[in-house]
Amino acid sequence: MSKKIYLDYQATTPVDPKILEKMIPYFTENFGNPHSNNHQFGRSANSAVENARENVANLINAEPSEIVFTSGATESNNLAIKSIARYHLGKDCQIITCKTEHKCVLESCHELETDGFKVTYLDVDEDGLINLEELENLLKQKKALVSIMHANNEIGVLQPIKEIGELCKKYNSIFHSDVAQSIGTQTIDVSDLNIDALSISAHKIYGPKGIGALFVSNSIKNTLRPLMSGGGQEMGLRSGTQSPALCVGLGEACKDLVENIEKYTNHFEEIKSTLLSNLDNSNLDYVINGNIKQRIPNNLNIAIKGKVAEQLFNFMPHIALSSGSACTSGTIERSHVLSAMKLDDERIDGSFRISAGRNTSKEEIKELVKSLNNE
């Protein structure tokens, strides 16, 4: 039986053993409720949560008071988009997003449309990139909430968020970005990028599932309201008892990136080079989806001419790949991302995502290409 090979790290990553080791005590002996401040158990748990908050803030050059713990990027995106639109800007504003955004962003915007908000969904070109001139023309008309992800979860393309942030600042608009897919390889500085709100998820960066964070600038935070009613935890924006263990997991994952992001990125570049070299030397008639240069290094989304991705997977059960984002892989509808790029149906059906991890080896990449060739 062939060795199992996991190449779906954009869907999720394993918890780093070093991070898990730091988490375990908060499941067992340090199990206090972080909101119980009248005894040492609670104070110890609270200290761990606040230390984790500092670690998240340090990664993106924010203040700890600007970090709200959530259940993940999906909740962070919902909280940012709905709360900023409804309570900070109001219905006189416009909402601008992109047709290739994650489903949770698109669905949040659809919900706001039913509430009477005007939403514009920007087109992308064949490389998966928005048109900055089109964005600026919209911003000239009315103050906006702009929500554009940094790296696309399917094709890995990096949107020009620095330029987007500059335009939003120029036209007195609010900029939110989902950076869940880019934070593991790209340096993010919310001040330099003029980002007002930002979403991340722990399980994309070798932390645990069930925890994420929303950065929201102090300049707008006090005008926002929570999605859920309750005890008013997380500065009144996210009620419910925090899990110190999960917070520690996210905090340690962020701390690790501060120390090692360059090492990880260099590894991904080497793996990508090996992958492209082996594909070029194979008999496969393939094409890359999305801009080849403006993308995260751990992603390659390709289509093989004359092949259907799901059928390829059946012949390679030992290799984990994705033909779409994991959040929608249970459906049979074609990728909304590739459709927005106006690719033809045959190319979309033949497309799949290869996403490498920190432990992906060159031998695994060679086995992938060999298996594709032998299908």
Residues 6+ apart with CB under 8 A from 87: 223, 224, 225
Tokens of residue 339, six digits: 């459709």
**E strand segments, the chain:** 5-6, 67-70, 94-98, 118-122, 144-147, 174-178, 197-201, 212-216, 286-288, 299-304, 319-320, 351-355
Q: What is this structure's pTM? A: 0.95
d(CA 50, CA 57): 11
d(CA 172, CA 145): 10
d(CA 93, CA 312): 46
For 328, which DSSP code? G
User: Which of 375, 253, 259, 279 shows the shortest CA–CA distance to 318?
Assistant: 375
Residues 6+ apart with CB under 8 A from 108: 77, 78, 81, 82
Amino acid at 45: A
Contact between 8 and 355 (Cβ < 8 Å): yes
Amino acid at 104: C
Which residue carries 């290799």 as its tokens?
319
Contact between 197 and 215 (Cβ < 8 Å): yes
The pLDDT of residue 323 is 87
The pLDDT of residue 375 is 63
User: Rg (Cα) of the chain, in Å, rounded?
Assistant: 21
Residues 6+ apart with CB under 8 A from 94: 117, 118, 119, 120, 138, 141, 142, 143, 144, 145
The pLDDT of residue 331 is 53
For 207, which DSSP code? S
d(CA 239, CA 230): 5
Phi, psi of 268 (to 5 degrees): -65, -35
| 168 among known catalytic residues | no
The pLDDT of residue 325 is 43
d(CA 268, CA 272): 6
The pLDDT of residue 177 is 98
Contact between 192 and 61 (Cβ < 8 Å): yes
d(CA 57, CA 63): 6
Domains defined for the chain, CATH in brackets = 5-14+261-374 (3.90.1150.10), 17-257 (3.40.640.10)
d(CA 156, CA 214): 21
d(CA 69, CA 211): 7
Q: Could you list the mean pLDDT of each consecutive 10-residue stretch along the chain, which spans 375 residues?
A: 90 98 96 90 92 98 98 96 94 96 96 96 98 98 97 97 98 98 98 98 98 97 87 84 95 98 98 97 95 97 93 93 63 86 94 97 97 84
Tokens of residue 213, six digits: 């964070």
The pLDDT of residue 216 is 98
Residues 6+ apart with CB under 8 A from 339: 348
Q: What is the pLDDT of residues 145-179, one digit of tens each?
A: 999 999 999 999 999 999 999 999 999 999 999 99
For 291, which DSSP code? -
Tokens of residue 51, six digits: 């230390």
Contact between 130 and 101 (Cβ < 8 Å): no
The pLDDT of residue 1 is 54
d(CA 133, CA 60): 27
